[in-house]
Amino acid sequence: WVANTLDFNKTYDASVFETTIRVVGGLLSTYDLSGDNIFLEKARDIADRLLPAWDTPSGIPYNIINLARGNAHNPGWTGGDSILADSGTEQLEFIALSQRTGDPKYQEKVEKAIVALNKTFPADGLVPIYVNPNDGTAYGTITFGAMGDSFYEYLLKAWIQGNKTSSVKPYRDMWETSMKGLVSLIRRSSPSSFAYICEKTRETLTDKMDELACFAPGMLALGSSGYGKVEAKKILSLAEELAWTCYNFYQSTHTKLAGENYLFNPGRDMSVGTTWNILRPETVESLFYLWRLTGNVTYQEWGWNIFQAFEKNCRIESGYVGLTDVNLALKDNKMQTFFLAETLKYLYLLFSPPTVIPLDEWVFNTEAHPLRIVNRNDDIAGSERQHKPTVGLQSRKTGRFGGN
């Protein structure tokens, strides 16, 4: 079907971000797993259609592009500005595409955006969610939830993708700065002392945390190994605290499924803000990383409980649906694609041997598509010669993070 039917020449206004993480990332991952060139050819086709989005004065991309015509723009509701997560979450896919094809243009485009953001990078590493594509300046709310989240994730993962060499150290440096900022947003509830990540507008903190921000425990755990021993222990401890909070987002409702976001009020711990659940993966993603990196089976137990809640409340004859209210168990009528790509995949991997997609050989993009880690070499053609895409999953070595 991909070879004979998949056609990207559509007069369709596509999200550059969503298309990159789902389509480009999915095709590249399938190429890395199978070695079949058709997937690389299709990834290149769709990426070429996305590239004009980066043709801005600053290099910060527009977030919407017509796949057939190549004209790019930003959504009207942003006032012409780009969104941080949408503009800073293409690095893994486009760098991988340059490595696999030997063509540096993809990597150059996406790294220009990071260079632009780094020019105005704040001392605390916390970038507001709206970014001007003309001059790279940012304003608005600071959040590890919607519209901010995966920018920080990709700073870390671009460092991992480049095999943590000196050429990708600037990504790690930016990420560590941002993690100092994250720590400054941590507060604890009363009476139960749940750690949570506030949102910030100018100097005002809001005691609200999205379920989307529950990717952060996994990110912190994944990045902890790059610190010295004392700091690594602190970061991992914070990851475990935040994972406990996110698990309780689920446990605190009637259905044992999390709402979209939570409010923290003194004396009341957490309460559901927006009541829907659309089968999001972020909490089970963090449980997967924490289990892989600590060997603590508690994270498997928590994941099993969440899976059982999905089975009980969301499974119907034709698939799974979300809930419009996690306390009333009211169903909606849609199964989001990330339920298969991420939620069930991370649950599957949570109960698989650590030798399946070992974390020292693969890095997951933000849509949970595994990409092979390749030594970063800015002589892209040289990098490509070293790349061997075919993978035998059962024969992979356990590796640094593979042990239980």
Query: Which of 145, 168, 197 finishes a domain?
Result: 145
Is the CB of residue 346 less than 8 Å from the CB of residue 288? yes
Phi, psi of 269 (to 5 degrees): 55, -115
Q: What is the pLDDT along the chain (404 residues), one digit of tens a residue?
A: 999 999 999 999 999 999 999 999 999 999 999 999 999 999 999 999 999 999 999 999 999 999 999 999 999 999 999 999 999 999 999 999 999 999 999 999 999 999 999 999 999 999 999 999 999 999 999 999 999 999 999 999 999 999 999 999 999 999 999 999 999 999 999 999 999 999 999 999 999 999 999 999 999 999 999 999 999 999 999 999 999 999 999 999 999 999 999 999 999 999 999 999 999 999 999 999 999 999 999 999 999 999 999 999 999 999 999 999 999 999 999 999 999 999 999 999 999 999 999 999 999 999 999 999 998 766 544 444 444 433 333 333 333 333 33
Whether 167 is in a domain gets the answer no
Measured distance CA(173)–CA(316) in Å, rounded: 46
Does one domain contain both 196 and 344?
yes
- Cα 401–Cα 352–Cα 288 angle in degrees, nearest 5: 60
| Same domain as 193, residue 136 | no
Residue 156: Cβ within 10 Å count: 22
CA distance 311 to 122: 44
Task: State whether 130 and 195 are in the same domain.
Answer: no
Residues 334 and 203 in one domain: yes
Residues 6+ apart with CB under 8 A from 28: 39, 40, 43, 93, 96, 97, 100, 369, 371
Whether 240 is a known active-site residue: answer: no
363 in a structural domain: no
Omega before 191 cis (within 30°)?
A: yes
Check if 18 is active-site.
Answer: yes
Tell me the β-bridge partners of 140.
none
Domain end among 145, 178, 197: 145
239 and 337 together in one domain:
yes
Name the active-site residue from 111, 176, 260, 269. Answer: 260
Cα 134 to Cα 138, 139, 379: the distances in Å are 11, 14, 30
Q: Which of 282, 325, 342, 367 is catalytic?
A: 282
Nearest to 290 by CA among 350, 364, 330, 231: 350
139 lies in the same domain as 275? no
DSSP structure string for 168-200: GHHHHHHHHHHHHHHHHTEEE-TTT--EEE-EE
Report the number of distinct structural domains present in the chain.
2
Q: Are 235 and 99 in a shared domain?
A: no
**234, part of any domain:** yes
Instruction: Give the orientation angle of helix 216-223 with respect to helix 169-184, to 10 degrees.
Output: 130
The helix/strand/coil state of 255 is coil
Residue 375 in any domain: the answer is: no
109: in domain? yes
CATH of the domain at 256: 1.50.10.10
Residue with tokens 């304003």: 139
Residue 266 lies in a domain: yes
Residues 279 and 134 in one domain: no
How far is Cα of residue 387 from the mean position of the Cα atoms in its chain? 24
Q: Which residue has the tokens 């446990």?
A: 251
> 209 and 139, same structural domain?
no
pLDDT the model gives residue 119: 95
What is the three-class DSSP state of 147? Answer: coil
**70 and 134 part of one domain:** yes
In a domain, 59, yes or no: yes
**Catalytic annotation, pick one of 81, 90, 149, 367:** 149
Q: Which two tokens stand for residue 173?
A: 């440096």
- Indicate the annotated binding residues for Ca(2+): 366
Q: Which domain holds residue 283?
A: 189-354
The SS3 of residue 14 is strand
Same domain as 139, residue 193: no
85 domain-assigned: yes
Mark whether 125 and 194 lie in a shared domain: no
Q: How far apart are CA 234 and CA 188, in angstroms?
A: 16
Q: Which amino acid is at 154?
A: Y
State how far the alpha carbon of 143 is from the alpha carbons of 60, 88, 198, in Å: 19, 14, 7
Q: At 41, phi and psi to the nearest 5?
A: -60, -45
The span from the CA of 198 to the CA of 186, in Å, is: 6
Binding residues: 366
Q: Which among 302, 348, 309 is positioned nearest to 329, based on CA atoms?
A: 309
CATH number of the domain at 9, please.
1.50.10.20
Domain final residue pick, 145, 165, 181:
145
